[in-house]
Amino acid sequence: SQQGEEDPQALSIQEGENATMNCSYKTSINNLQWYRQNSGRGLVHLILIRSNEREKHSGRLRVTLDTSKKSSSLLITASRAADTASYFCATVRTNAGKSTFGDGTTLTVKP
Amino acid sequence: SAVISQKPSRDICQRGTSLTIQCQVDSQVTMMFWYRQQPGQSLTLIATANQGSEATYESGFVIDKFPISRPNLTFSTLTVSNMSPEDSSIYLCSVKDGGDTEAFFGQGTRLTVV
């Protein structure tokens, strides 16, 4: 079974607005990663945050990690129509490096 | 970041046949993985491809159905054997250069079994 759950399942916003997606997981982790997937193609890596980190930024992306609550959030600021995609979180629990994916959030940004 | 070439990008296959998917990386990588993404769903790990030895399969996946080869640090294949319509999915190759690093994905193989 998937370790991660994401909410919302679907999010529709207007261009320029911010989008927040949440990810919860069940066991302790080494790191958590966020990915974007366009139209069922390959995944694009966005951000990796390690278990000893609380927040990371990359351009318009901000990721937080709360290990006490076993949750993470991805914030996309000033969204664009090109941000329309599915977003997945994935957790890595051991040095074996296997990723366990959440259910994903489908984001639609309307121009 | 690693550049991953996955072939074929899509295929339509008859039930009962087999398809081999190739994953070529432009640099040597420590870890290679194969995932399945069924329609409208998230990714599920099939197996870890181990160089020079048998792959490590996740619960629910077996070698007879999904034989995997990894002859070196830059190449792996996944075969989907004796296919049925339930095998229609996107299959993705992923690589990492250490357990605590980011994973990179190929563009996926969209398989339709008719």
Question: To the nearest whole angstrom, how far is the Cα of B13 from the nearest Cα of chain A?
Answer: 19
pLDDT for A3 equals 58
Contact A45 B43 (CB under 8 A): no
What averages of pLDDT result for each successive group of 10 residues across chain B (114 residues)?
92 98 95 94 95 92 97 96 97 88 92 97
Q: What is the DSSP string of chain A?
A: --S-EEE-SEEEEETTS-EEEEEE-SS--SEEEEEEESTT--EEEEEEEETT--EEEETTEEEEEETTTTEEEEEE-S--GGG-EEEEEEEE-STT--EEE---EEEEEE-
- Tell me the pLDDT band of A79, cut-offs 50, 70 and 90: very high
Running DSSP on this structure, what letter comes out for residue B39?
T
pLDDT tens digits, residue range B69-82? 999 999 999 999 99
* Tokens 């995609």 belong to residue: A85
How far apart, in whole angstroms, are the C-alpha atoms of residue A96 and residue B4?
A: 20
Give start and end residues of each alpha helix (H) in B1-114.
none
pLDDT for B46 equals 97
pLDDT for A42 equals 86
Question: Which stretches of chain A sit within 8 Å of chain B by CB?
Answer: 2, 30-31, 33, 35, 40-45, 48, 50, 88, 90, 92, 94-104
Contact B105 A43 (CB under 8 A): yes
| Cross-strand pairs, B24 | B5, B75
Interior/surface letters A38-64, b for 16+ CB within 10 angstroms, e for the rest? eeebbbebbbbbeeeeeebeeeebbbb
Contact B105 A103 (CB under 8 A): no
Contacts of B110 in chain A (CB under 8 A): 40
The mean pLDDT of A63-79, rounded to a whole number, is 97
pLDDT tens digits, residue range A29-68? 999 999 999 986 889 999 999 999 999 999 999 999 999 9
pLDDT of A101 over the 90 cut: yes
